[in-house]
Amino acid sequence: MRRDIHWHPELADEERRTSALVAERLRAAGLAVVTGVGGHGVVAVLDGAGEGPTVAYRADMDAVDDDELFDCTFASQVPRASHLCGHDLRTAIGVGIALVLARLRKQLNGRVVFVFQSAEETCEGARAMIEENSRSAAVAASWHPAPDSAAHAAEGTAPSRLPQRRSPRGTSKADSPVPAANASPAVTPRQAADWMGAFFHGGRGADPAPDDTTGGAGDNVRNNTQE
């Protein structure tokens, strides 16, 4: 699935094929799926067999407005569109998590909400999804593929209500779901910030060895405002 998405990248607000692919896989796994949320966003809900908290996983689906940089069998077939930011990977992993958890539904307590966002690169998708389909969760998780391979978890009362973080030069930077106010006194539910709760470092190079993989816990909040 990841290679399929990488081969057919779609820019912000144009993710029709990608969102349809995501929705098809999730419906086949038995999740309750809503499409067209805030544009081409997809929200899927998996209810476990018992009572419990709501947790969420968020991924973005749009490609970058740039040409493919790598020569591979699944390189972008669309001029000026490519998944240089790894949204294909994050989307495929989100669907994979959903498929695994669906098979374990009878062992789950609580609800898992999967949020696949469109238009992350323009900073418009999150706001549109919030306004159209606002949900809250006790814990939300996302991550950003990078040389340092950081995984992010945001803990709070309503991380799905928060906007995305952007770097000053306009590219996405560790745009995990942002923690709500009770995760950090300095971050309100509408501010843009990052909180790193854990990290995984998978080594460097194209083929790092498993022994090179390390991980750990962190407590690092980054905010875009002076406060």
Sign of torsion over alpha carbons 202, 203, 209, 213: negative
Q: Which residue's structure tokens are 């009878």?
A: 106
Distance CA 170, CA 67 (A): 17
Tokens representing 174 are 């560790």
Q: Which residue's structure tokens are 């309100």?
A: 188
Q: Are 172 and 121 in contact (CB under 8 A)?
A: yes
**Among the listed residues 184, 175, 182, the one whose alpha carbon sits nearest the alpha carbon of residue 227:** 184
Residue positions annotated with a catalytic role: 62, 120
**Among the listed residues 113, 116, 66, 112, the one whose alpha carbon sits nearest the alpha carbon of residue 87:** 116
Distance CA 23, CA 44 (A): 8
